[in-house]
């Protein structure tokens, strides 16, 4: 199994440009999420989805958009990139998100996408 696959691994943008970070998982996981990681700040949740057609905002959603048209894919769109969005982005998934359904809820992470906005 490939697990969680993120592309691209590295990207440099100019302020105001838009782009999409791709995330795909082949584990039939219901729950998918996007995090950003900045030095000394741990992981901050941007958006998440508990199933196809359902998305919700996390802690830091501004400037980002998501959609979940299939179980496998959860792309993250930067609408107009800003230097404050320079970060490492991680996609993560888990089988399901509700207690008592037989899953520990452990997150499986992609390898990350390092984004620099100039």
Partner 1 sequence: GQQVMQIPQYQHVQEGEDFTTYCNSSTTLSNIQWYKQRPGGHPVFLIQLVKSGEVKKQKRLTFQFGEAKKNSSLHITATQTTDVGTYFCAGRDSNYQLIWGAGTKLIIKP
Report the nearest approach of partner 1 to the CB of residue 90 (Å). 6
Instruction: Give the residue with the Cβ less far from partner 1, 42 or 102.
Output: 42
Distance CA 104, CA 30 (A): 13
Report the nearest approach of partner 1 to the CB of residue 97 (Å). 6
Instruction: Give the residue with the Cβ less far from partner 1, 9 or 53.
Output: 9
Interface ranges with partner 1 (CB under 8 A):
40-45, 90, 92, 97-99, 104-112
Distance CA 68, CA 52 (A): 5
N- to C-terminal Cα distance for the chain?
36
Instruction: Give the residue with the Cβ less far from partner 1, 64 or 89.
Output: 89
Q: Bridge partners of 54?
A: 51
Three-state secondary structure call for residue 66: strand
């Amino acid at each position: 199994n490939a697990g969680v696959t993120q592309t691209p691994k590295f990207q440099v943008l100019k302020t105001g440009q838009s782009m999409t970070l791709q995330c795909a998982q082949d584990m039939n996981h219901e729950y998918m999420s996007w995090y950003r990681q900045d030095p000394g700040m741990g992981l901050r949740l941007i958006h998440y989805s508990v199933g196809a057609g359902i998305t919700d905002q996390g802690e830091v959603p501004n400037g980002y958009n998501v959609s979940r048209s299939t179980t496998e894919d959860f792309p993250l769109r930067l609408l107009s990139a800003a230097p404050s969005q320079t970060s490492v982005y991680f996609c993560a998934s888990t089988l399901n998100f509700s207690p008592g359904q037989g899953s520990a809820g452990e997150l499986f992470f992609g390898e990350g996408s390092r984004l620099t906005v100039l």
